[in-house]
Structure 1
Amino acid sequence: MVLARRKVVYMLLVAILVLMLSPFGWLLISAFKDPSELRAVPIHWWPHQPTLENFRLALTLFDFFGYARNSLTIAGIYSVLITLASAWAGYGFARLTGPGKRIIFGLMLSTMMTPQVITLIPTYLLFSKAGLLNTYVPWVLWGLAGAPYLIFLFRQFFSNMPRELEEAAIIDGCGQIRIFWRIFLPQSWPVIATSLVLSFSWSWGDYISPALLLDDDHTTLAVKMATGYVTEQGTGLYTVVGAGAILYILPSLILFLILQRGFVTSTATSGIK
C-alpha cells in the first residue's frame, strides 16, 4: 500500500515537472526551427531541418553582447551591494538590541506587500529631479538599501548562530563591525548564495526599471530584446526571439548551477526559528 502511494506521488510529481517544463521545451524546439515551420499546418513539433541561423541572427540583429554587458554591470553591482546591505541589516535585527526593534522589523516586512507599480512614478520623478536618469546610480542606491526578504533570510540565519561565538569575540576585544565581518558573514555562505541568485535574477530579468530610467544606449538586454527582433514591417521574428531567449537565460542558469547547493540549504533552513 505504501509502495503504491509512493508510485502515485512520483507519477504526480513527474506530471507536474513535465507541465512546468513544457513551455521551456517548446521555446527550445522553436529556436532551432525555420520560421516557415511555425506557420505550418498541421503543427510541426520537431524541426525537420534544425538550424543555428536563429542564434546567429539573435546575436547580430543588434549589439547583443553590448547590451548584455550593460545588464551584467547592473545585475552584478546590484546583487553584491544588496547582499552586503541585507546581511548587515539582518545581523542588526538578529544580534543587536534596541527600542522598537520588533516594530521596525515588522514594518520592514510589510513593505514586501507593496506592489512595485505603485512606486514607479514617484521613483522616476525622484531620480529625474536628482539628475540620475541614464545612469546606473539608481541600482547602486537600491542595492545599498537592502531588500526586506533578503534581510529576513539573513536575520533567520544569524539568529540560529551560537551566542558563544559572539561572546568570545567580545572578550577578545572585537566590536560589532569586526564580529560581523570576521565571524558571522563568513559563516553565512548558504544565505549569501541565495541572496546572490535571487538579486541577480531580479535585476537581470527586470524590464520596467531600465525601460523607465535608461535611454537606448544604456539600457539592458531585456529591454532591447523586446524591440530588437522584428522585421522592417514590425512583424516579430519568433524563432529568433526563441533563440535570443535561450541565450538570455544562460547567465542566471549558470549562476544558479554554481550556487545551487547553498541556495537549497538556505531555503530549507530559513524558517527554522
Structure 2
Amino acid sequence: MTQTVRRRPAHADRAHPHRSRSKRKRRSAGGVYVLLLTLAVVFVGPILWLLLAALKTREEWVAVPTKVLPEQAQWSNFVHALTDINFPAYAMNSLFLATVYAVLITISSAMVGFGFARLRAPGKRAMFLVLLSTMMLPQVLTLLPTYVLFARLGLVNTYWPWVLWGLAASPFLVFLFRQFFAAIPRELEDAAIIDGCGWGRIFVGIFLPLSRPVLITAFLLSFTWSWGDYIAPALLLDVDHTTLSVAITAWYQDPRGNPLPTVQAAAAALYVVPVMLIFLFAQRYFVRSVVASGVKG
C-alpha cells in the first residue's frame, strides 16, 4: 500500500509570513557567524604562529612550513628571553614612555576636540579640515626633519620628544573627541554658563566625566602606538634609554653574533601580553566610544 505525501501548498508560507522571516533571520545570522569565525581565525593565526615559533628549537624553526608543531615544547626560550638581555629594564622604559605619552596626548586631544566641538571662532571649520588633512601625511616623510629638530634642541637620547608629542595632540584623537563632544546636548552647557561656570570648569566638570569611554579608548590607542613603536626609539634613544621593541629586534644573538629567532619569538609573545590585557579590560569602553562618536558629525 503506497502512502501519498502531501506537499504543503505554496500559499502556506504567505499565510504565515513570520515563519519565513524567522528562517531568513536564522540564515542571515548563520552567515554572519561564519564570517566572524573566519575573521577570528585570520586574526588569531599570526599569534598562534608566534607561540608555536617560541616553543620550537632553532632547527625546527628553519624547517617551517614542513615542521609546524614542535616535537617538544622549548619553554626554556622564554627563560632566555627574560635573562639574555635586561628585559625588565627595557620593559620599564617602554612602560614609562607609553604611559606618559598616552596620558599627555589624551588630555591635549580632549582639550582640542572640546574647542572644535563647543567653542565658536572664525575659521574654525577650515582649521579643523587642515588638522584632519595631516592624517594623510606619511610618517616616513617627517623622520629626518624630526631628528634634525630634536638634535639641534639637544633632546636626542632623552624622553622629552615623547612629552612634546603628547602635548601636541593627535589629529585622529581630536576627531574622536570632537565627534563625541558635539553629540552632548547644549542644554548642559547653557545651564552651566547660567550658573557662572567658565569654559575650563565646564570642560573639567561636565564634559570630561561624560567622556570616560572616549578617554579610555584614546588612552588605549595612544598607549598601543607608543608601546609598539620601533622607529622613534631606534632613531632617538641610546642603548641605555631605548625600549623593549628595539631590544627584542637587535640583541638576541648567539656567541657568533647570529640571531636567535625562537628566543625573539618568545620575547615578542611576552611583549604583546600587556597590550592584550589592557584591551581585554577596556574593550567595552572602546566599542561604546566608537558608537557614541559616530552619532553626530
TM-score (norm 1): 0.96
The aligned residue for residue 4 of structure 2 is: none
SS of residue paired to 2:257: coil
Q: Residues 187-226 of structure 1 correspond to what in structure 2 (within 5 A)?
A: 187-226=210-249
Q: Give the share of equivalent positions with the same residue, in percent.
A: 55
Determine which structure has more spread, i.e. the larger CA radius of gyration: 2
The aligned residue for residue 17 of structure 2 is: none
The aligned residue for residue 133 of structure 2 is: 110
Q: Residues 148-163 of structure 1 correspond to what in structure 2 (within 5 A)?
A: 148-163=171-186
The aligned residue for residue 68 of structure 1 is: 91
Q: Which runs of 4+ in 1 moved over 6 A?
A: none
The aligned residue for residue 238 of structure 1 is: 261
Partner deviation per Cα, 1:93-145 (whole Å, 9 max, x = no partner): 00000000000000000000000011111111110000011111010000000
Out of 15, 28, 40, the position equivalent to 2:38 is 15
- Alpha-carbon offset, residue 63 of structure 1: 0.4
Instruction: Say whether 1:28 aligns with 2:38.
Output: no
**AA matched with 1:265:** R
Q: How large is the Cα RMSD of the aligned pairs? A: 1.5
The 1-side partners of 2:64 and 2:294 are apart by 51
Q: Quick one: structure 1 residues 254 and 41, their matched pair in 2 at CA, closer, same or farther if it must change by over 3 Å?
A: closer
SS of residue paired to 1:257: helix
The 1-side partners of 2:212 and 2:67 are apart by 47
Higher mean C-alpha displacement, 164-173 vs 182-191: 164-173
5+ residue gaps, structure 1: none
Partner deviation per Cα, 1:233-253 (whole Å, 9 max, x = no partner): 332211111110111011111
Q: Quick one: structure 1 residues 6 and 211, their matched pair in 2 at CA, closer, same or farther if it must change by over 3 Å?
A: same
Instruction: Say whether 1:51 aligns with 2:74.
Output: yes
Q: Residues 109-128 of structure 1 correspond to what in structure 2 (within 5 A)?
A: 109-128=132-151
5+ residue gaps, structure 2: 1-22
The aligned residue for residue 90 of structure 1 is: 113
The 2-side partners of 1:41 and 1:161 are apart by 54
SS of residue paired to 2:272: helix
SS of residue paired to 1:142: helix
The 1-side partners of 2:77 and 2:200 are apart by 52
Q: Residues 133-172 of structure 1 correspond to what in structure 2 (within 5 A)?
A: 133-172=156-195
